[in-house]
Amino acid sequence: MDKKKWPGRAVLPVAVPGIKYIILAILVTGMFFYFGWMVPAWVAAVLGVYVCWFFRDPDRVVPEGDHNLVSPADGRVVAVERLAKTEYLEEPCQKVSIFMNIFNVHVNRMPFDGVVEKVVYTPGKFINASFDKASIHNERNALTIRTPGKKRFAVVQVAGLVARRIVNCVAAGDRVIRGERYGMIQFGSRLDLYLPLDFQVQVKKGDTARAGSTIIGQMLKNP
């Protein structure tokens, strides 16, 4: 897992963690063209374009409303369920899972305002992140956040079959703001939200979400 400072807004059209990969792709492509190896050069060029596109970091308009909790990731909602027990929250909760394929924007954003109480990184396997068991067995990084109304929720970055690096840019004690960038998972992954039972979920399995702009639901009392 990488821990880096993330800029508050996009200073480049690509995410900062992707710059080294983009530079590498340019160098490899240029080397192939220099030596006249045209087939691998064009293959490298196409892959280089994909790498640039994968690390795109578009600005988003965060919806207003103090009670609204927004999606932490782009992707497809693959689970909405209630859980009696979880390693992240002491009380029963609701879980919303979002699967990011390799074509989605992979920059992660804060779902809600609050203070980070705990950051827990867990090494693990790299099972396909669309499977529910990935939430338990895969490499992951969990943030437990306390809202201004003293509620707690957790947002968990889960590495997937192709993803091999989790980037998290916040630490315990940091004050976070809904919609701000805080990290990414490189090359396919999953985001799990663990929310209080009185949270009103507005999405359902199969819905498409956009980080920072899709409303997942509302904190109904004292957000």
pLDDT tens, residue by residue, 184-193: 887 768 899 9
Q: In this predicted structure, what is the pLDDT of residue 192?
A: 94
- Mean pLDDT across the chain: 85
Residues making up the chain, counted from first to last: 223
Q: In this predicted structure, what is the pLDDT of residue 162?
A: 60
Q: In this predicted structure, what is the pLDDT of residue 101?
A: 86
Tokens of 148: 């201004």
Distance in angstroms (rounded) separating the CA atoms of residues 150 and 120: 20
Q: Evaluate whether 75 touches 32 at the Cβ level (below 8 Å).
A: no
pLDDT tens, residue by residue, 22-34: 899 899 999 999 8
34 CB contacts (<8 Å, ≥6 apart)?
Answer: none
| Cβ-defined contacts of 33-39 (< 8 Å, 24+) | none
Q: Which of 71, 97, 130, 189 is catalytic?
A: 189
Q: In this predicted structure, what is the pLDDT of residue 175?
A: 94
Confidence of residue 159 (pLDDT cuts 50, 70, 90): confident
Does residue 116 carry a pLDDT above 80? yes
Residue recorded with tokens 């999953």:
190
Q: Can 189 be counted among the known catalytic residues?
A: yes
Q: Hey, which bits of the chain come out as E strands?
A: 2-3, 68-70, 75-83, 93-100, 107-109, 114-122, 140-146, 152-159, 166-168, 175-176, 181-185, 189-196, 199-201, 208-209, 215-219
Q: In this predicted structure, what is the pLDDT of residue 51?
A: 85
**Percent of the chain scored above 90 by pLDDT?**
49
The full set of domains in the chain, from first to last, is 68-219 (2.70.70)
Burial of 202 from C-beta contacts in 10 A (0-12 / 13-18 / 19+): middle
Q: In this predicted structure, what is the pLDDT of residue 161?
A: 64
pLDDT tens, residue by residue, 117-156: 999 988 866 665 556 665 666 788 999 999 988 899 999 9
Lowest-confidence pick of 3-7, 84-88, 189-193: 3-7
Does residue 1 carry a pLDDT above 50? no
Q: In this predicted structure, what is the pLDDT of residue 171?
A: 92
Q: In this predicted structure, what is the pLDDT of residue 154?
A: 95
Distance in angstroms (rounded) separating the CA atoms of residues 108 and 207: 18
